[in-house]
Amino acid sequence: MFNLEEFEQDQVIYPLVEKLDKLLDKNKTEKAEKVIIQLEELLDKKKHAIPVSYILSILAENDFSLITESVLSKLESFLTTDEPKLKLNILIIIGFAMISKQNYLEKYLADVVSHLKDSSKDVRDNLFYFLQEIGKKNANMLCTYKKEFINALINEPIEANQISLLSFLEKCDAFDFENLFNLREVFKTLINQYFTSDSSKIYSKILTLIKKVFPSFQNSGIENYRKTELLEALQNLFLMKKYNFSEVSKETGVELKDFMKTMSKRSKNENRLYFYINQKEQKTVYFYELEKEKLTSVFSKEEKLHKKNLLKTFSSIIQTEPNLRLFINTLIKLGHIKGYYSKLGYYYSYNYVKSEIQNDFQKNGMVNLSKFDYLHPEFIKSIIGDISLLTKQDFLVG
């Protein structure tokens, strides 16, 4: 089991390894366990930590039953070490622990995932091996670490490890807004790195995951896109998420105020808007996350927007006109957009109406307000007031 030559220079370790090797060859497990206890005691001495942990890692790989709870408890204290060899040995032992017993998987998985951005290639390569083994039986558990896998993709330089991360994410669902925002940036980086007209393994993985997390790409033929087309399509993608908070509350017991507080602490707040709508008739509360820049772009255009076009834009989160009306009016009430949604299903942006009024005034020296009688009087009044302040002219309204 052991290459004894590796320990010849260590007068303390060598006799123990030699004895352990002979006992294991003869299947004298009980006597071997006593030697392992002696090795465990040496972990308390810093100079022996690396060779002892190396020996234990070989034992863990060949017969994990020889690794006791006591050994694992002592090894936990080394998880934060800066010594690369020691860290590698510890993580290998814990890796075999996780694929041996479910309780160890639940106990150590978070610690293992936290090392995915480790500077040591050997550490990362071994972690990916263990995560791949775990994923064969516990893909759902791995998916609780989507955020960490996405962050690891940003910095991982090894193609094989990038493929592993893409494969982990491919098995996951329920990507939140932050996941989607970060994934879009990661995809852009990977496309710049690996774009090819051939179907390389990693580029195929990238396209497969894009279509999974962004369904609008599923039937768009992105396999045939030029690099600039694909990058532009990703950048122009309007990110939005909708959650049925009523269902979330039933499953978790969380209250709305606590849910909102949690959402407010998420990163990417500068890039997103979030709010909830209480649909009292349905006794359902929906929570929304939307990309701020894209939302502003849609609702600030100098044009009127028909409900059919708006329903198409927001098809992933809104399916009916009444819900669209409630959605838009909530955005207006909260001050996220400035405009008016008419009874006939047209949205008139502040910029559109302002431009129409200014054009009429410049052409005719006056504005016939009856032309805008389909809009709310207070909305028109506020725009005229703004134009008056801008032009420093008083307007008579009759």
Residue whose C-alpha is closest to residue 100's, from 142, 74, 146, 69: 69
pTM summary value: 0.86
Beta-strand relationship, 339-341 and 304-306: unpaired
- State residue 395's pLDDT score: 61
Burial class (CB in 10 A: 0-12, 13-18, 19+), 196: exposed
Q: How many degrees, rounded to 5, is the angle at CA 94 between CA 91 and CA 98?
A: 130
- State residue 263's pLDDT score: 86
Beta bridge partners of 243: 287
CA atoms of 93 and 59, how far apart (whole Å): 9
Q: Which amino acid is at 246?
A: S
- The mean per-residue pLDDT over the stretch 71-90 comes to 94
- DSSP structure string for 323-359: HHHHHHHHHHHTTSS-EEE-TTSEEEEHHHHHHHHHH
- State residue 197's pLDDT score: 63
172 φψ region: left (φ > 0), alpha (ψ -120 to 50), beta (else)? beta
- The mean per-residue pLDDT over the stretch 241-245 comes to 94
Q: Specify the length of the chain in residues.
A: 398
**Tens digit of pLDDT for each residue in 109-137?**
999 999 999 999 999 999 999 999 999 99
> Rounded to a whole number, what is the largest CA-CA distance in the chain?
106
Burial class (CB in 10 A: 0-12, 13-18, 19+), 268: middle
**Which strand (E) or helix (H) includes residue 35?**
helix 29-42
Identify each DSSP E strand in 3-160 by its residue range: none
Residue whose C-alpha is closest to residue 288's, from 311, 310, 265, 316: 316
85-99, 188-202, 233-247, 338-352, range with the lowest pLDDT = 188-202
- State residue 394's pLDDT score: 65
Percent of the chain with pLDDT over 90: 77
Contact 91, 128 (CB under 8 A): no
Beta bridge partners of 347: 305, 341
- The mean per-residue pLDDT over the stretch 345-370 comes to 84
Percent of the chain with pLDDT over 70: 97
Tokens matching residue 32: 């071997």
Does position 198 have pLDDT exceeding 90, yes or no? no
CA atoms of 303 and 355, how far apart (whole Å): 9
Residue whose C-alpha is closest to residue 12's, from 50, 57, 42, 44: 42
Contact 276, 287 (CB under 8 A): yes
Tell me the average pLDDT of the chain: 92
- The mean per-residue pLDDT over the stretch 187-198 comes to 88
Tokens matching residue 98: 């996780």
- State residue 397's pLDDT score: 56
- The mean per-residue pLDDT over the stretch 330-347 comes to 94
- State residue 18's pLDDT score: 95
- State residue 358's pLDDT score: 84
Q: pLDDT confidence of 396, banded at 50, 70, 90?
A: low
| Domains in the chain: ranges and CATH | 4-236 (1.25.10.10), 241-293 (no CATH), 300-398 (no CATH)
Helix axes 146-155, 159-170, angle to 10 degrees: 160
- State residue 326's pLDDT score: 96
Q: Is the dihedral of CA 212, 215, 221, 224 positive or negative?
A: negative
- State residue 113's pLDDT score: 97
